[in-house]
Chain A
Amino acid sequence: MGRRALTLRDLTSEAASEGELRERIVRELGSEFQSCFRCLRCTSGCTSMKLLELRPHFVMNMVKLGLVEELISSGIVWTCALCLKCEERCPQEVSPSELITLLRNFSFQREENVPEAYLKVVSSVLETGFIQEPMEVVSREFEEFTRESLGLPRLVGPREAFSENLIELMTREAG
Chain B
Amino acid sequence: MEVAVYWGCMIPTVEYAYELSLRATFPRLGVKLIDLKGVSCCGSPIKSVNRLAADYLALRNIALAEETGTEHLLVPCNGCYLSLSEALHHWRTDEELQGEMEKFLDKEGLTLEGGIKIVHTINFLHDIIGLEAVEKAVKKPLTGLRLVSHSGCHILRPSKILDVDDPERPRKLDDLIRALGAEVLEYPESLDCCGAGLLLSHPETAVSLSATKLRAIQGLGVDGLVDSCPACHMMFDARQETGARAIGYKLSLPVVYYTQLLGLTMGLDGRSLGLHLNQSPVEKLLERAQKTFP
Contacts and interface: CB of A to CB of B under 8 A. Distances in A.
Contacts of B202: 52, 78-79
B197 A131 contact: no
B50 A169 contact: yes
Interface in B39-59: 39-41, 45-53, 56-57
Interface string A36-77: 000000000001100110000000000000000000000000
A122 B49 contact: yes
B70 interface: no
Nearest to B55: A169
Contacts of A91: none
Contacts, number: 171
A175 to B, nearest CB: 9
Interface residues of B, number: 58
B277 A82 contact: no
A132 B200 CA distance: 13
Interface string B189-209: 001110101111110011011
Nearest to B79: A82
Contact of B108 (A101, A141, A165): A165
Interface string B1-12: 000000001101
Given A82-B153, A147-B12, 11 more contacts: A51-B209, A52-B198, A83-B157, A87-B157, A104-B49, A118-B200, A118-B201, A132-B14, A152-B16, A155-B12, A156-B37
Interface of B: 9-10, 12-14, 16, 19-20, 23, 35, 37-41, 45-53, 56-57, 60, 104, 107-109, 153-154, 156-159, 167, 191-193, 195, 197-202, 205-206, 208-209, 274, 276-279, 282
